[in-house]
Structure 1
Amino acid sequence: INVRQINDFFITGFPGLSPEYYGPVSALLFVLYLTIAVGNIFILAFVRSERSLHKPTYLIFCHLALSDLMFGTVTLPRVISKYWFDDSIISFYSCFAQMYFVHFLGATHSFILMVMALDRFIAICAPLRYTSLFSNATVSVLCGISWLIPMSWMIGIVLDALRLPFCNSNIIAQCYCDHIAIINLGCEKVQEVTVVAFALAMFSLLLPLSFIILTYFVIIVAVLRISSSEGRSRTLSTCTPQLIITCVYYLPRCFVYLANFVGYTFSISVKVVVVMMYSLLPAAFNPLIYCFKTKDIKEKLKMKLLQNKITFMTKTS
């Protein structure tokens, strides 16, 4: 086997993209990153500044916003740099560090969504015991576990991949370093490393998803038992932001995995675009969902805007 030392990896970005589109694509990605950064930092700052929002539901939103912000920061500057400055090279260890954070943050986000489903389950099915069962301290512990579990196992996955000898090219057909792209460049024990990583990926995706589906099934049954239609719609409306956020995260991923399972394969170009869309667009749209689909945040925003308008009119009059 022709094993060779790889010092750098070459990120292709969007394969087949003509150089004439490099400028518009990098500008679009930069706007996307600004949207992710501004939106999620705003949510973190706004919830922190409003004491009335220091509740379990909004604390979970903050954890989701933090994971979205970190994911965008880990992935987008690298690919923007490729198209903006024609910088396609990423060092060997930087690539593995990026791979670590990509998969760690993805798994963490999935587990936090499970905590969010638990929040709605207790709020609707045991409302009188909600404050005692689901305090801010409880949420902090559960979300902390959601960060710690993937953090620990991803270290093992990265170390396994680091031990692989590399005998193929150093070209990564993706916008960022991910596990599959890297181990496909290895020449030994690829199958073993792939199986372990795939099993953990499925665990971090399917365990929370199964819990969320079961939880919302019980919630729907509980809501249907409410006698008044107004009560049913009001109760369901408290779940709307969580349902939208969960669907936006899971549905595209499940579609891609299902397509692969039934034997439908995407071209590399299409696959890269699809992965980028389902990885990053939710991070940009989630802050809007928090603001416009969550009653307390929406009302606080309206009050802030009204106060600022009154203050401005007072100063100018």
Structure 2
Amino acid sequence: MFYTNVTTIKQFFILGFPGLSQEYYGPVSALLFVLFLAIAVGNIFILVFVKCERSLHKPTYLIFCHLALTDLLFGTVTLPKIISKYWFNDSIISFYGCFVQMFFVHFLGSSHSFILMVMALDRFIAICAPLRYTALFTNNTVSVLCGISWIVPMSWMVGIVLDALRLPYCNLNIITQCYCDHQSITGLGCEAVREVQEVAFGVAMLSLLLPLGFIIVSYFVIIVAVMRMTSSNRSRMIALSTCLPQIIITLLFYMPRCFVYMANIVGFTFSVPVRIVIVMLYSILPAAINPLIYCFKTKDIKEHLKKKLVTLKINNSTTTG
């Protein structure tokens, strides 16, 4: 696909939250900075903790590490620029820098979606075929599946970005969002915008709905399998509780996105400021919350943390004594 190159835009202006009074720039930038610190500290902690605890070198926790890495990278790619806008009044991003950010925004979101599918597969095998779990779902298997979850979306997003990059840009250079995304950038194109956006939308739906369909079927089969168990209700609840962290993480990722897409389908539209706030909430908040879910809703990690804290307390008592 070729377009006449009439690009005159050399840089983009990140609008951020439209209509935000300047007196709130400080508090907003501080809030975003706290979120960035929470994302960085929480997800780095998960990566380091699982790496250092050899007993956690299991498929489930390796998947958590891949999810933590996508969350860490997403926060690192998106938040510093919008923080600098409200903190230092720096709203300018270079033309190609905006496309690089767009690539990582959509690539990381797609990879996260496919890794969630791997996580659902992990729970499916663990519950429905427990005796074969260690043979079927090894660390090597997880590494291969998660590697595919990184590589496949990357190949798609390279094509999407190159397609958008070939558009002629001659309109305004204002990105009506807190970061560069495909719709905001291509909306500034001069021609063939609809065609490019439709292709990107199709890829986005594939990245969202394919994993989501597999996840829904997997957890439905898991629930049916648990209900058919001949063991006690307590044993059934314990089996289901092993899926709880994964279910919460999956719901945090998919529910807001599905809500926004469904609202658009039925014709319900949000105002621009509300839409931007919603996108930021479902993009950034899960990345900050997920490490807490890993720590407090996962039995092994929680027990290892308790042991570490008890050991630290004993050592401190011995030192002060």
Q: CA deviation at 1:36?
A: 0.2
**Equivalent residues of 2:186, 2:193 under 8 A apart:** yes
Give the aligned residue type for 2:269: T
| 1:240 aligned residue (241, 244, 248) | 244
**Equivalent residues of 2:5, 2:168 under 8 A apart:** no
Structure 1 residue aligned with 2:144: 141
Q: Are 1:301 and 2:301 an aligned pair?
A: no
Take 1:222 and 1:201, find their aligned partners in 2: how far apart are those partners? 32
Take 1:104 and 1:218, find their aligned partners in 2: how far apart are those partners? 30
**Equivalent residues of 1:102, 1:178 under 8 A apart:** yes
Take 1:105 and 1:50, find their aligned partners in 2: how far apart are those partners? 26
SS at match of 2:180: coil
Structure 2 residue aligned with 1:282: 286
Structure 2 residue aligned with 1:256: 260
Take 1:236 and 1:78, find their aligned partners in 2: how far apart are those partners? 41
Q: CA deviation at 1:61?
A: 0.1
SS at match of 2:93: strand
Take 2:210 and 2:7, find their aligned partners in 1: how far apart are those partners? 39
Take 1:290 and 1:17, find their aligned partners in 2: how far apart are those partners? 35
SS at match of 1:288: helix
Q: CA deviation at 1:167?
A: 2.1
Give the aligned residue type for 1:112: I
Pair 130,2 (structure 1): closer, same or farther in 2 beyond 3 Å: closer
| 1:188 aligned residue (178, 183, 191) | 191
Q: Are 1:217 and 2:202 an aligned pair?
A: no
Give the aligned residue type for 2:47: L
Take 1:161 and 1:254, find their aligned partners in 2: how far apart are those partners? 25
Question: CA-to-partner distance for each residue in 1:35-75, whole Å, 9 max, x for gaps?
Answer: 00000000000000000000000000000000000000000
Give the aligned residue type for 1:172: I
Q: Are 1:11 and 2:20 an aligned pair?
A: no
Structure 2 residue aligned with 1:37: 40
Give the aligned residue type for 1:156: G
Q: CA deviation at 1:226?
A: 1.6
Unaligned runs of 5+ in 2: none
Structure 1 residue aligned with 2:73: 70
Structure 2 residue aligned with 1:93: 96
Q: CA deviation at 1:166?
A: 1.0
Give the aligned residue type for 1:44: L
Q: CA deviation at 1:188?
A: 1.3
Unaligned runs of 5+ in 1: none
| 4+ long deviations beyond 6 Å | none
Take 2:113 and 2:261, find their aligned partners in 1: how far apart are those partners? 16
SS at match of 1:265: coil
Question: CA-to-partner distance for each residue in 1:159-211, whole Å, 9 max, x for gaps?
Answer: 11111001210001100000000000001111111111000000000000000
| 2:269 aligned residue (265, 269, 274) | 265
Q: CA deviation at 1:288?
A: 0.2
SS at match of 2:150: helix
Structure 1 residue aligned with 2:175: 172
SS at match of 1:14: coil
Structure 1 residue aligned with 2:211: 208
Q: Percent identity?
A: 74
Q: Are 1:79 and 2:82 an aligned pair?
A: yes
Q: How does 1:38-53 map to 2 (within 5 A)?
A: 38-53=41-56
Take 1:114 and 1:155, find their aligned partners in 2: how far apart are those partners? 22
Q: CA deviation at 1:314?
A: 0.3
Q: Are 1:105 and 2:136 an aligned pair?
A: no
Take 1:165 and 1:251, find their aligned partners in 2: how far apart are those partners? 35
Take 1:188 and 1:142, find their aligned partners in 2: how far apart are those partners? 39
Q: CA deviation at 1:4?
A: 4.7
TM-score normalised to structure 2 length: 0.98
Question: CA-to-partner distance for each residue in 1:11-50, whole Å, 9 max, x for gaps?
Answer: 0000110000000000000000000000000000000000
Pair 311,197 (structure 1): closer, same or farther in 2 beyond 3 Å: same
Take 1:103 and 1:238, find their aligned partners in 2: how far apart are those partners? 30
TM-score normalised to structure 1 length: 0.99
